[in-house]
Amino acid sequence: MVYLGRQVLAELLECDKNRLNDLDYVKKAMVEAAIEANATVVGYKFHKFAPQGVSGVVIIAESHLAIHTWPEHGYAAVDIFTCGSKTEPKLALKHLRLAFRAKRVKYKELERGVVEDVAPSGHLVPDA
């Protein structure tokens, strides 16, 4: 099956709470994860919440990586979406698992834009 992109939706569990709450550390880990996946970083934006938690996105030429952390629960929700054949989203996930010292990881990988479902206009064809 041919598809336009792959998306990994992941939950990082039992992580290092201090790392999840450190804005600079989260930003660095996410940018490194994009590079590890062989993606081209074009920008990023991160925000630290009070009293805790970090959200952010790394924009890559191939799509994006996003994260939201709940340090109080040792938990992070991650979305890694890549297009094209040169990137490998699971390599980014592996990097993040190690960076945040996650004891458990749950994830799903989706094929996005299955070519046989995409109309010539580029819009998905609705089910009949």
Judged against a pLDDT cut of 60, whether residue 123 lies above it is answered with no
- For 2, the 3-state DSSP assignment is coil
> Which of these is catalytic: 15, 63, 64, 95?
63
Spatial CA neighbour of 109 closest among 20, 3, 35, 17: 3
Domain boundaries, the chain: 3-115
Q: What is the pTM of this model?
A: 0.88
pLDDT-derived band at 124, boundaries 50, 70, 90: low
Q: How confident is the model at residue 126 (pLDDT cuts 50, 70, 90)?
A: low
Is pLDDT above 70 for 128? no
Distance in angstroms (rounded) separating the CA atoms of residues 106 and 22: 22
User: Of residues 47, 55, 64, 68, which has the active-site annotation?
Assistant: 68
Catalytic residue among 83, 85, 95, 123: 83
pLDDT digits (tens, 9 = 90+) for 97-106: 999 999 999 9
- Write down the CATH superfamily of domain 3-115: S-adenosylmethionine decarboxylase (3.60.90.10)
The mean pLDDT value for 41-48 works out to 98
pLDDT of 60 higher than 90: yes
Is 83 among the catalytic positions? yes
